[in-house]
Amino acid sequence: DVVLTQTPVSLSVTLGDQASISCRSSQSLEYSDGYTYLEWYLQKPGQSPQLLIYEVSNRFSGVPDRFIGSGSGTDFTLKISRVEPEDLGVYYCFQATHDPNTFGAGTKLELK
Amino acid sequence: EVQLVESGGSLVQPGGSLKLSCVASGFTFSNYWMDWVRQTPGKSLEWIGEINTDGSKTNYAPSIKDRFTISRDNAKSTLYLQMSNVKSDDTAIYYCLQFAYWGQGTLVTVSS
């Protein structure tokens, strides 16, 4: 199975700061069709996860442009510029390139 | 508005069986692959499996393969997860999802 390693495990920030989360894959996530099926989710307390980014860098409908996904191959990053209160929660990366699909263990974003 | 509503979660004894349902609305159910994901009490997310649009193809995570079966009824816009020979490790909130859209989840507790 593909292992996604997220770092850091937790991240303490001040509102307005930039936050950066890394997701490293044990195998390349580029599929044979040329697409890379790497997604980012945010789970707020008491809620279901919500999709932020799909195919590495595409923001889902309604996601603010302060969320920026980047990377290729095995190395991916989610950056959040100017963290706002509604950004707090647990972030997960997820790959749908290889079966079985797998999630990272999560990164908790909290206030300093 | 896309809605996914899971049901069927309950307390079940080890070795027992349970069938979860997910009723979809707000989109053409028969046009989309559907997935099941679970979240354990330790809070990690695990992809369980997926089913194609007409139900002819399924993919499963190794941890549940041969014990769980995903099916669908397009006429009823309903997704199913048949769970058999359940173990304590299957205790989790079970979510159905269609790409970015998740249900609220249904809790399955495996305990004697």
Distances (CA, A) of B1 to A32, B4, B36, B101: 33, 10, 20, 10
Nearest to B32 by CA among B61, B67, B4: B4
**Closest approach of B41 to chain A, Cα-based (Å):** 13
Dist. CA B22–CA B7, nearest whole Å: 6
User: For an interface test with B, which of A101, A103, A107, A108 has the most B Cβ atoms less than 10 Å from its Cβ?
Assistant: A101
Residue B20 CA to residue B8 CA, distance in Å, equals: 5
Closest C-alpha to A55, from A86, A82, A33: A33
Could you tell me the strand order of the sheet in which A75-80 lies? A4-7, A19-25, A75-80, A67-72
Tell me, yes or no, if B10 comes closer than 8 A to chain A by beta carbon. no
- Average pLDDT for residues A7-16, to the nearest whole number? 96
CB B45 to CB A50 under 8 A?
no
Tens of pLDDT along A22-77? 999 999 999 999 999 999 999 999 999 999 999 999 999 999 999 999 999 999 99
A83: left (phi over 0), alpha (psi -120 to 50) or beta: beta
Smallest Cα distance from A83 to chain B, Å: 22
Q: Which residue of A has its CA nearest to B103?
A: A48
pLDDT value, residue B73: 98
Question: Are residues A48 and B46, on separate chains, in Cβ contact within 8 Å?
Answer: no
Rounded CA gap, B59 and A99, in Å? 8
Residue B44 pLDDT > 90, yes or no?
no
Residue B65: per-residue pLDDT: 87
Q: What is the mean pLDDT of the segment spanning A87-101? A: 96
- H helix intervals, chain B: none
Q: What is the pLDDT of residue A59?
A: 98
Q: Where are the beta strands (DSSP E) in chain B?
A: 3-7, 11-12, 18-25, 34-39, 45-51, 58-60, 68-73, 78-83, 92-98, 101-102, 106-110
Interface of B with A in 26-65 (CB under 8 A): 35, 37, 43-47, 49-50, 59-62
Rounded Cα–Cα distance for residues B106 and B22 (Å): 9
**Are B47 and A100 in contact (CB < 8 Å)?**
yes
The predicted structure's pLDDT at residue B48: 96
Q: What is the pLDDT of residues B46-78, one digit of tens each?
A: 999 999 999 999 999 999 989 999 999 999 999
Residue A102 pLDDT: 96
